[in-house]
Amino acid sequence: MEQISKTRAKEILKTSETDKDLFNWCEEYKSFISENVSCCVSMEWDYMLKASYEDSGSPVNYEDLQIEVSTEVSTEDIKLRMAESFGVPIKELNSLYEDLEREESISFMGEDYTKEDLEEKYDEVKDELISETEIYEWWIIRDPLKYELEQQGETFLNEAWGRQTSGQSISLDYCCIEAFLNRLNRRVA
């Protein structure tokens, strides 16, 4: 990354505004990925995760994974999913929260709701979102890509990145493209 001049970084950023397919035209991006993606350890990690059910001494276990995954769900994501489940815009859901600050119970979508009802729904949606986080592959990657993915809230377990896609080149992953662009933005700042 140090080889990229500020001028070239600006050129890449400008072009990426209209063409996010960096993997097709940006040699610097291709180099960034090839230098920072080391190897796939999916078979090993999957084996150790399964073994952790019987062997508490396994270096990789599901308890550690749950801690990592649970931090990825934001309040905004939960409220957005709640609004979708009610079939209303997010503004209406926020309005419901505001109304419940003033009153004990509110009629919404033909049903009465209390703060407790909404909190229960919030927890249900949060659990759903957490369980939807599925890791398909485990990869050993190097800094600076690792640092950037950590900043985005990607899942890591014992230094391995839990990739949430499969069947395509890592250079196609949106999170990797964003990682590269974030580094360029800091370079030109």
Tens digit of each residue's pLDDT (9 = 90 or more) over 113-170? 888 888 888 888 887 776 666 889 999 999 999 999 999 888 898 889 999 889 999 9
The model's pLDDT over 58-75, given as tens digits with 9 standing for 90+, comes to 888 877 775 444 445 677
CA distance 158 to 134: 17
Residue 17 clears pLDDT 60, i.e. is over it: yes
CA distance 128 to 113: 21
Strands 160-163 and 137-141: antiparallel
Q: Which band of pLDDT confidence, cut at 50, 70 and 90, is reported for residue 105?
A: confident
Residue 98 clears pLDDT 50, i.e. is over it: yes
Q: What is the pTM of this model?
A: 0.66
